[in-house]
Amino acid sequence: MVTPEHGFEVLVERLRGAERIVVIAHVRPDGDAIGSVMGLTLSLRALGKTVIPLLEDPVPENLAFLPHSEEVVAPVGLIEADLVVALDTATQERVGKRCLEVLAGVKEWINMDHHGTNPGYGTWNHVNSGVPATGQLVYELLKAGGFPMTDAIRQHLYVAISTDTGSFQYPGTGARTHEIAAEMLAAGLDSGRLCRLTYETFPARRLHLLRAVLNEMKLSLEGRVASWQYTQKTAIEAGARAGDTEGLIDTLRMVDSVVAAVIFEELPDGKIRVSARSKTMDVNVSDICGRFGGGGHPLAAGARMAGPIEQAAERYLKELENEVRRHD
Ligand SMILES: [Mn+2]
């Protein structure tokens, strides 16, 4: 397990000392990325700091209900700041090409993350692979610093933690994760509303994609591996947008015999985005994604491969199936 190089005290001191702060996360932001970025942004703003929440890609439609999420800024022009805080971002490049360019003049970076593969690219590094979501780290940071905590901040951090733990279901979900949720509820957070908006509110096109998953999923290795090839043709037919695939992989994971599940997504540029999940630490999908230039967590990881999609799937599944076989 990776444990923090620099404790919260150091980060609190750096944050208190800075005036202009950029808070950033990874490309194609998920709930943990947006919730962590906006949770920290709103708290630092309440402290009187000038804070720029910066993301390479827009907030996905299903998370646009989160308060102030429309204030996320896209990378344009050069940004001057005292400090960048990168959240939930396993490598510095993962903030995105344009974001790296606009931040070229900022010297000091805080790197706060829970990906075990994070090499510690910041001036200050707080990487803890023992927590299931970066949102949990942000919550602890705000508490450690005595920073402002409001209902809007709790909404962001709750959604960050909830989405990265599969609604408090994945194995990394610890006692402290539940305690944090309980503290938020005790403070008046409406978790029922947040869960309905996060998990039970979809446009029809998302259900078209689910239908495609159910029609086209493949089981291999006696049902121990489930996969789906999500083509541009399907994306165009469904009118899919960024974020629509979020959570679809859980449908593949549900099959009782399945040990590992993968989605191969054909991107408009022909590259293949791989998302993989494992149910057991014996099959480490972060390792397998690493062989194709990707990474992540042992039970949830991703990579980008060259197309065409059938060949990418064949190459990846060969490695994955060997791994599953080794642990019979
Ligand atoms: Mn995360």
Q: How far apart are CA 88 and CA 97, in angstroms?
A: 17
* Sheet with 225-230, edge to edge strand ranges: 218-220, 225-230, 260-266, 272-278, 300-305, 295-297
Q: How far apart are CA 212 and CA 89, in angstroms?
A: 31
What does the pLDDT read at residue 85?
98
71 Cα–ligand 1 center, Å: 21
138 Cα–ligand 1 center, Å: 11
What does the pLDDT read at residue 241?
86
134 Cα–ligand 1 center, Å: 5
116 Cα–ligand 1 center, Å: 11
64 Cα–ligand 1 center, Å: 18
190 residue type, one letter? D
222 Cα–ligand 1 center, Å: 31
Tokens of 275: 């998302």
32 Cα–ligand 1 center, Å: 5
What does the pLDDT read at residue 178?
98
- For residue 11, how far is the Cα from the chain centroid? 22
* 139 neighbors 42 (Cβ within 8 angstroms): no
What does the pLDDT read at residue 161?
98
Q: How many helices (H) and strands (E) does the chain have?
A: 12, 11
97 Cα–ligand 1 center, Å: 20
278 Cα–ligand 1 center, Å: 16
133 Cα–ligand 1 center, Å: 5
What does the pLDDT read at residue 1?
79
The three-state DSSP-derived secondary structure of the chain is CCCCCCCHHHHHHHHHHCCEEEEECCCCCCHHHHHHHHHHHHHHHHCCCEEEEECCCCCCHHHCCCCCHHHCECCCCCCCCCEEEEECCCCHHHHCHHHHHHCCCCCCEEEEECCCCCCCCCCEEEECCCCCCHHHHHHHHHHHHCCCCCHHHHHHHHHHHHHHCCCCCCCCCCHHHHHHHHHHHHCCCCHHHHHHHHHCCCCHHHHHHHHHHHHHCEEECCCCEEEEEECHHHHHHHCCCCCCCCCCHHHHHCCCCCCEEEEEEECCCCCEEEEEEECCCCCCHHHHHHCCCCEEECCEEEEEECCCHHHHHHHHHHHHHHHHHHCC
What does the pLDDT read at residue 328?
72
114 Cα–ligand 1 center, Å: 7
* 66 neighbors 87 (Cβ within 8 angstroms): no
**Closest C-alpha to 15, from 108, 137, 152:** 108
What does the pLDDT read at residue 327?
83
Tokens of 287: 């390792």
Cβ-based burial of 317 (10 A; exposed 0-12, middle 13-18, buried ≥19): buried
159 Cα–ligand 1 center, Å: 11
What does the pLDDT read at residue 249?
95
237 Cα–ligand 1 center, Å: 30
104 Cα–ligand 1 center, Å: 25
What does the pLDDT read at residue 123?
98
307 Cα–ligand 1 center, Å: 27
Q: For the beta carbon of residue 197, count every other beta carbon within 10 angstroms.
A: 16
What does the pLDDT read at residue 63?
94
Quote the pTM value. Answer: 0.85
What does the pLDDT read at residue 3?
85
What does the pLDDT read at residue 246?
82
Going along the chain from its start, the domains and CATH numbers come out as 8-199 (3.90.1640.10), 204-326 (3.10.310.30)
Which residue intervals of 58-133 are DSSP H helices?
A: 97-102
Q: How far apart are CA 323 and CA 319, in angstroms?
A: 6
Tokens of 142: 């705000």
pLDDT tens string, the chain, 328 residues long: the values are 788 999 999 999 999 999 999 999 999 999 999 999 999 999 999 999 999 999 999 999 889 999 999 999 999 999 999 999 999 999 999 999 999 999 999 999 999 999 999 999 999 999 999 999 999 999 999 999 999 999 999 999 999 999 999 899 988 899 999 999 999 999 999 999 999 999 988 889 999 999 999 999 999 999 999 999 999 999 999 999 877 888 899 999 999 999 999 999 999 999 999 999 999 999 999 999 999 999 998 999 999 999 999 999 999 999 999 999 998 7
163 Cα–ligand 1 center, Å: 9
